Amino acid sequence: RELYKVDQWGLGYFSINEHGNICVQAASDSPHKIDLKKLIDELNKRKIHMPVLIRFMDILRDRIAQLSNAFNHAIEDNEYEGKYLPLFPIKVNQERDVVTSMLEHGKEFGLGLEAGSKAELLIVLAMTTDLKTPIVCNGYKDREFVSLVGMAHQMGKTIFPVIENYEELETFIAYYKETGIMPRLGLRIKLSTRGVGKWAKTGGDASKFGLRVPEVLRAIERLKEENLLHALNLLHFHIGSQVTKIKVVKQAIVETMRVFVEVVRLGAKLDYLDIGGGLGVDYDGSSRESHSTINYSLREYAGDIVYRVKQICQENGIPVPNLLSESGRFLAAHYSLMVTNVPAISSIRPCGLDFPKPEKGYGPVKEMFDILPTISKDNFSECYHDAVQYRSEALSLFNLGYLTLPERAYMEEVYWQIMRRVHEISRQTGIQTPEIEDLESELSDTYFANFSLFQSLPDSWAIDQLFPIMPIHRLNEEPDRLGTVVDLTCDSDGVIDQYIGEDGPRPSMMLHSINNGDHYYIGIFMIGAYQETLGELHNLFGDTHAVQIRIQGDNQYKIENLIKGDTIHQVLNYVSFNRGELLHKMRDQIEQAVDDGRLDLEESAKLMGLYEEGFYGYTYFEE
Ligand code: PLP
């Protein structure tokens, strides 16, 4: 039960019940739990088969409340005279239901939206029906973008386009000269403080977005020149996602506030500070330093920011700004998970063939055979090296034609038995060398899971991000096999190669044996941020089924929305293959096969039927 650390990363949203199944609840203090295995069984009965993405909107509500309450408490504790408003940057998850739920649940906390592109802006403009809802626009802005923002400002929306580079300011000034409209502007600054972790490049002098300090001064001069400095109301920075150390947050705030004070002194009326995203989450349940976890709590994060902003404003005798943050990962990561099944396992266990024992009194095969009974705690590292050497010699002999195929097969069986024993002793004794550590993934069984890493877990492939993965049932049983989870694509990168371990990420995880015909379900958790829309169609595995669940009582839930996954027909359309044309070409070939006598009429009808039916199937493995 402790193996997968669900009580740590699950934050009370996920836990294990008395049946050994994962259950889900809307908040750690919520009275109702949903048994995930039971839910999957019921989805199967509804013919919603794996893989399936499950969205718990109740969790989104709790995340917004947690974030807002943390800042509101800090505001109260520090007698801060501004307010805090959370923004949801929709790039993190643009799904309609996510955006509408954010707005619905975030209303009482004044939640707004952030848009980073024209397409996102169109969503945001239409969905924010309350004029008070704050909107922040990041990303590069062309003339059309600027006009849309200008008109939205004119109609009374609380919209802040953020100047990301100096040229954008000129576009806004040109627009003003033509129309007389100037929205309230924000300015993104480039800090010399760099983030930490996988997204560190977002911050620092060489970062893609923001104005360097000399450009900030130039922008202020230019606005003054046009008599428009009053429009500059917001300062923004973002040093990268998943900031793992609080020290960096503190440095970034201090550096920003020094700029803030000077910009106010130069005459701008800055009443908003947008601290961007970066608030991290714990993906691996450990307290150890890593990219997957953070060394601070939400309370500490909010407290430090509010305290420092107030302190620097007070020191300099200026009013405190209202605070905005764009904490997308924090808000969305926990709300969705994917469940997949395991159609097959492969392993390098002894395959049960009866091999002839080596007869010769010497030679690498015989030597290898002799190692097996002698391995002990005292000599296992030496045995490892000897076995590697004998294997290499045996392979040379095989290539030169001096070893028969059964001899080679026998040698390999013995070799892997030795490796298993070596690995076992190394785990028992805790004595490891890098080469023996590498054995772990070589020895583990391969669990073929019914999903595509590229479609459903793109950051695992692209940036080696670790996500919590574990079976969702049988958690009262001791798992007995070391496994790695691979996907269905025929790409050797389609492998999950990092798992939660006792003290840090491991290359494999403990899983259960599966008897013939058993269903084994694996959950991949915390995929609500970035994964749902970054995914792509590698091998033409399309969108999975997605269900939206509302928790209503113990094991009582309502399916609020069900979006069927892509059919093969749909994914073929994405790559411009037309069903009619493919059917036509296939029919021609089948007719030819009938004419040539390779198929009879019955077989030809059967093949054509199968082919036609294929277009309407799920792109994933169907049982
Ligand atoms: N704001 C901006 C400008 C971003 O680029 C990002 C993403 O990196 C975010 C907010 C969201 O960050 P996070 O998901 O870490 O909260």
Instruction: Give CA–CA dist 335/548, Å, rounded.
Output: 10
| Residue 593 included in any domain | yes
- pLDDT, residue 501, reads 87
In this predicted structure, the answer to whether residue 54 has a pLDDT above a threshold of 90 is yes
Of 189, 183, 191, the C-alpha closest to 223 is: 183
Instruction: Give CA–CA dist 204/191, Å, rounded.
Output: 5
Q: Which two tokens stand for residue 621?
A: 């493995």
276 is in an annotated binding site: yes
DSSP secondary structure of 333-388? GGGEEEEEE--EEE--S-----PPPP-SSSSHHHHHHHHGGG--TTTHHHHHHHHH
Of 250, 189, 180, 197, the C-alpha closest to 220 is: 189
277 is in an annotated binding site: yes
Out of 90, 91, 162, mutate this one to test ligand 1's pocket (max ligand atoms within 8 Å of CB): namely 91
- pLDDT, residue 203, reads 61
For ligand 1, the distance from its centroid to the CA atom of residue 240, given in whole angstroms, is: 6
Helix (H) or strand (E) holding 445: strand 445-448
Q: What is the CA radius of gyration of the chain?
A: 30
Q: Which two tokens stand for residue 614?
A: 């294929």
Residue 191 sits in a domain whose CATH number is 3.20.20.10
User: By alpha-carbon position, which residue is closest to atom 6 of ligand 1?
Assistant: 277
Is there a contact between 67 and 275 (Cβ–Cβ < 8 Å)? no
Q: Do 303 and 369 reside in the same domain of the chain?
A: no
| Residue 38 included in any domain | no
Q: Do 370 and 305 reside in the same domain of the chain?
A: no
Query: Where does the pLDDT of residue 406 fall: very low under 50, low under 70, confident under 90, or very high at 90 and above?
Result: confident
Q: Which two tokens stand for residue 104?
A: 């619905």
Q: For residue 326, which atom of ligand 1 is closest to its CA?
A: 10
Q: Which of 235-249, 382-396, 432-446 has the lowest mean pLDDT?
A: 432-446
User: By alpha-carbon position, which residue is closest to atom 4 of ligand 1?
Assistant: 277
Q: Which two tokens stand for residue 435?
A: 């080469």
| Residue 355 included in any domain | no
Q: Do 306 and 410 reside in the same domain of the chain?
A: no
282 is in an annotated binding site: yes
Of 117, 66, 61, 56, the C-alpha closest to 89 is: 117
In this predicted structure, the answer to whether residue 127 has a pLDDT above a threshold of 80 is yes
For ligand 1, the distance from its centroid to the CA atom of residue 196, given in whole angstroms, is: 14
For ligand 1, the distance from its centroid to the CA atom of residue 441, given in whole angstroms, is: 34
Report how far Cα 468 is from the mean position of its chain's Cα atoms.
10
Share of the chain above pLDDT 70, in %: 97
Q: Do 114 and 195 reside in the same domain of the chain?
A: yes
Strand ranges inside 469-566, DSSP E: 469-471, 481-486, 509-511, 521-524, 545-553, 556-563
User: By alpha-carbon position, which residue is closest to atom 8 of ligand 1?
Assistant: 241
Q: Which residues are catalytic?
A: 490
Residue type, 454: F
Q: For residue 188, which atom of ligand 1 is closest to its CA?
A: 3
Residue with tokens 């060398």: 433
- pLDDT, residue 554, reads 93
pLDDT tens-digit readout, 549-583: 999 999 999 999 999 999 999 999 999 999 999 99
Domain boundary among 442, 466, 488: 442
For ligand 1, the distance from its centroid to the CA atom of residue 275, given in whole angstroms, is: 10
Mean pLDDT of 354-363: 71
Out of 201, 294, 298, 329, mutate this one to test ligand 1's pocket (max ligand atoms within 8 Å of CB): namely 329
Q: Do 225 and 370 reside in the same domain of the chain?
A: no
Q: Do 268 and 393 reside in the same domain of the chain?
A: no
Residues of the domain holding 438: 364-442
Query: For residue 330, what are the contacts with CB-CB under 8 A and spacing of at least 6?
Result: 63, 67, 279, 280, 281, 298
Q: Do 391 and 313 reside in the same domain of the chain?
A: no
- pLDDT, residue 349, reads 78
| Residue 13 included in any domain | no
Q: Do 408 and 276 reside in the same domain of the chain?
A: no
Residue 437 sits in a domain whose CATH number is 1.20.58.930
Peptide bond into 51 cis (omega under 30): yes
Q: Do 229 and 375 reside in the same domain of the chain?
A: no
- pLDDT, residue 239, reads 92
Is there a contact between 229 and 279 (Cβ–Cβ < 8 Å)? no
Is there a contact between 571 and 615 (Cβ–Cβ < 8 Å)? no
Domain boundary among 396, 415, 442: 442
Is there a contact between 26 and 58 (Cβ–Cβ < 8 Å)? yes
530 is in an annotated binding site: no
User: By alpha-carbon position, which residue is closest to atom 7 of ligand 1?
Assistant: 241
Pocket of ligand 1 (CB under 6 A): 89, 92, 138, 238, 241-242, 276-279, 326-330, 529
For ligand 1, the distance from its centroid to the CA atom of residue 131, given in whole angstroms, is: 24
| Residue 12 included in any domain | no
130 is in an annotated binding site: no
Out of 64, 90, 92, mutate this one to test ligand 1's pocket (max ligand atoms within 8 Å of CB): namely 92
Mean pLDDT, the chain, rounded, equals 94
Pairing of strands 272-274, 159-163: unpaired
Q: Do 165 and 281 reside in the same domain of the chain?
A: yes
Q: Which of 1-15, 422-436, 482-496 has the lowest mean pLDDT?
A: 422-436
- pLDDT, residue 407, reads 87
Four-point Cα dihedral 84, 86, 128, 230, nearest 10:
50
Query: Where does the pLDDT of residue 199 fall: very low under 50, low under 70, confident under 90, or very high at 90 and above?
Result: low
State the DSSP code for 86.
Answer: E
Q: For residue 330, which atom of ligand 1 is closest to its CA?
A: 16
| Residue 526 included in any domain | no
For ligand 1, the distance from its centroid to the CA atom of residue 276, given in whole angstroms, is: 6
DSSP secondary structure of 122-171? HHHHHH--STTS-EEE-S---HHHHHHHHHHHHTT--EEEEE-SHHHHHH
Query: Where does the pLDDT of residue 204 fall: very low under 50, low under 70, confident under 90, or very high at 90 and above?
Result: low
Distances (CA, A) of 290 to 198, 418, 511, 570: 10, 33, 24, 40
Beta bridge partners of 336: 55
- pLDDT, residue 169, reads 97
Q: Do 329 and 372 reside in the same domain of the chain?
A: no
Report how far Cα 338 is from the mean position of its chain's Cα atoms.
11
For ligand 1, the distance from its centroid to the CA atom of residue 328, given in whole angstroms, is: 6
In this predicted structure, the answer to whether residue 206 has a pLDDT above a threshold of 60 is no
| Residue 311 included in any domain | yes
535 is in an annotated binding site: no
Q: Which two tokens stand for residue 336?
A: 């969705």
Q: Do 187 and 240 reside in the same domain of the chain?
A: yes
User: By alpha-carbon position, which residue is closest to atom 9 of ligand 1?
Assistant: 277
Q: Which of 138-152, 204-218, 437-451 has the lowest mean pLDDT?
A: 204-218
For ligand 1, the distance from its centroid to the CA atom of residue 239, given in whole angstroms, is: 8
Q: Which two tokens stand for residue 605?
A: 């009808």
Out of 190, 237, 281, 326, mutate this one to test ligand 1's pocket (max ligand atoms within 8 Å of CB): namely 326
Query: Where does the pLDDT of residue 207 fall: very low under 50, low under 70, confident under 90, or very high at 90 and above?
Result: low
Is there a contact between 249 and 278 (Cβ–Cβ < 8 Å)? yes
In this predicted structure, the answer to whether residue 200 has a pLDDT above a threshold of 70 is no
Mean pLDDT of 62-74: 98
- Other C-beta atoms lying within 10 Å of the C-beta of residue 427: 13
| Residue 153 included in any domain | yes
SS3 16: strand
- pLDDT, residue 432, reads 82
Range 370-393 burial, b when 16+ CB lie within 10 A, else e:
ebeeebeeeebbebbebbeebbeb
Length of the chain: 623
For ligand 1, the distance from its centroid to the CA atom of residue 593, given in whole angstroms, is: 57
Out of 189, 241, 334, mutate this one to test ligand 1's pocket (max ligand atoms within 8 Å of CB): namely 241
**Structural domains of the chain, count:** 3
Nearest-10 crossing angle of helices 364-371, 405-429: 30
Q: Which of 217-226, 308-317, 405-414, 541-550 has the lowest mean pLDDT?
A: 405-414
ipTM of the complex: 0.99
Q: Which two tokens stand for residue 109?
A: 């906390």
User: By alpha-carbon position, which residue is closest to atom 13 of ligand 1?
Assistant: 277
User: By alpha-carbon position, which residue is closest to atom 11 of ligand 1?
Assistant: 277
Q: Which two tokens stand for residue 147?
A: 């006009």
Q: For residue 241, which atom of ligand 1 is closest to its CA?
A: 15
Query: Where does the pLDDT of residue 215 fall: very low under 50, low under 70, confident under 90, or very high at 90 and above?
Result: very high
273 is in an annotated binding site: yes
Q: For residue 530, which atom of ligand 1 is closest to its CA?
A: 14
The CA-based diameter of the chain, rounded to the nearest angstrom, is: 97
Q: For residue 89, which atom of ligand 1 is closest to its CA?
A: 10
Q: For residue 240, which atom of ligand 1 is closest to its CA?
A: 8
229 is in an annotated binding site: no
Domain boundary among 442, 463, 484: 442
Query: Where does the pLDDT of residue 293 fall: very low under 50, low under 70, confident under 90, or very high at 90 and above?
Result: confident
pLDDT tens-digit readout, 79-91: 999 999 999 999 9
240 is in an annotated binding site: no
Mean pLDDT of 94-111: 97
How would you class 212 by CB atoms within 10 Å of its CB: exposed for 0-12, middle for 13-18, buried for 19 or more?
middle
